[in-house]
Structure 1
Amino acid sequence: MAPGFLLVTAEPGAQVTLDEFQDWYNNEHVPLRLNYLPSFLTGARFSAADSLQPSWLAVYDIDDTATFSHESYTRLRANRSPREANLVQRLEVLDRRTYEFVSDSGESALSSSYKPENPTSALVTVSLDFADGGDEAFRAWADEAFVALRGVDEWIRTRTYKCIDNLKSGMGVPKGPEAQIVPKYLAVHEVSSLPIGAAFSATANPGSKAQVKETRTWNLYRAYPCVAQGNLPVSSA
């Protein structure tokens, strides 16, 4: 199977304080995955740079999309701690999307992407669909974007993905199937700084077939060590 990617956006809301949210994410949610599952290759969190909601983003590189259905991972949600189960119920939004890797512009010497040694400091995420052409049109769009972005100063790397599953939950999520509809494709642009310049905006979304549904900008909050990288503190292993 293809490599996977997990993207989760969250909004604490009125029922969860930011301190409670951060303590849960940093000291329970992330360690249960990165400290024990070698299938999680990287993990990092970002905060919104655009004043939009959800205001928090977590991203993880996964070794294989089969991980998403493996018991080692699914049991973490099936058997949540009482604390986590209670907190998740009180969140305003928890939007979890799993993806299959499609293409990569290539690793860059400018950053390690999501590893804690020299991590990428900012992201631009672009969610999109295509009226015609589907996967083939998306690949062509990505190829064109990779070429165009090579001349943009703040650009570091772009990877693209196809959504294979998603679930939105939370007190602020409307009931019904329409609330669960998300764009099929995703581009994650790594950049050195925000705000992005006109040159980036003009070249990052080429092609008339692409229907850009949402563009978000994010600043790095933290990139985490993990068992897959062999860089966990001794006390966490």
Structure 2
Amino acid sequence: MPLGFLLVTAEPGAQVPLEEFQDWYNNEHVPLRLNHLPSFLTGARFSAADSLTPSWLAVYDIDDTATFQDESYTRLRANRSPREANLVQRLEILDRRTYEFVADSGESTLTSSYKPTNPTGCLITHWINIPGDDAAFQTWTEEAFHALKGVEGWVRTRTYKCIDNLKTGLGVPKGPEAQTVPKYLAVHEVLSLDVAGMPAFMVASNPRSTANVEENRMWTLYRAYPSVAQGNVPST
């Protein structure tokens, strides 16, 4: 099975104080996954740098898309603690998307991506629809990788195909339209968000005129977490 990627955006909203949201995420939600599941290779959280909502992003590298159906993972949502169950019901937005890995421009010596030592400080996410099949997106990816190598401040780009998604929350409209998301995702790691405004980056990150970037977001690092997969979880 291919590598997996889990991306979750969230907006606490008026019913969940930020302090409560952060305590839950840092001390319950993330540790239940990264401290116990070797399939969760990395995990990091970012805050919005563009004044848009949702204002929080969590990303996880997963060793295999089969993890998303494995009981060790699915039981975490099926058997939530009373605290988590109550908090999730009060969130304004919780948007969970699972992905299948498509391609990677390659690890960089500039950062460790989502690992706690020297993590990437800024992300630019592009959600993309492109005419054609997966082969067309693979071609788009190859063209982008080639062009991005000449952009100063660019670190790494990985691309993915969405395999499942679910939006919940007090601010999510009813009906199937609210659950429609773009099929493809590109995650660009950069040294500074100034890169986003460079003409060379804008052209390189969307090299085909037929591609439609549905949403473009910018994020700054909040925290990269240790994990049992990395062997750096603190002793308890």
TM-score class normalised by the smaller sequence: over 0.9
Separation in structure 1 between the aligned mates of residue 54 and residue 202 of structure 2, nearest angstrom = 22
- 4+ runs deviating over 4 angstroms: none
Q: Which runs of 5+ in 2 are unaligned?
A: none
RMSD of aligned Cα (Å) = 0.6
* Equivalences for residues 44-55 of structure 1 within 5 A: 44-55=44-55
Alignment check: 8 A CA contact 1:137 1:209 kept: no
Separation in structure 2 between the aligned mates of residue 42 and residue 147 of structure 1, nearest angstrom = 26
Secondary structure in 2 matching 1:146: helix
Deviation at residue 134 of structure 1 after TM alignment: 2.0
Write out per-residue CA displacement over residues 10-61 of structure 1, whole angstroms, 9 at most, x where no aligned residue. Answer: 0000000000000000000000000000000000000000000000000000
Alignment: residue pair count: 234
Equivalent residue number for residue 206 of structure 2: 205
Give the alignment's TM-score, normalised by structure 2: 0.98
Percent of residue pairs identical:
76
Write out per-residue CA displacement over residues 117-138 of structure 1, whole angstroms, 9 at most, x where no aligned residue. Answer: 110000000001112x221111
Q: Which runs of 5+ in 1 are unaligned?
A: none
Separation in structure 2 between the aligned mates of residue 64 and residue 78 of structure 1, nearest angstrom = 20
Equivalent residue number for residue 73 of structure 1: 73
Equivalent residue number for residue 42 of structure 2: 42
* Equivalences for residues 61-210 of structure 1 within 5 A: 61-131=61-131, 133-195=132-194, 196-198=196-198, 199-210=200-211
1:24 equivalent to 2:27? Answer no
Write out per-residue CA displacement over residues 185-230 of structure 1, whole angstroms, 9 at most, x where no aligned residue. Answer: 0000000011323221221111022111000000000000000000
For 2:203, the aligned partner's letter is: A
Separation in structure 2 between the aligned mates of residue 197 and residue 13 of structure 1, nearest angstrom = 30
Give the alignment's TM-score, normalised by structure 1: 0.98
Separation in structure 2 between the aligned mates of residue 130 and residue 3 of structure 1, nearest angstrom = 22
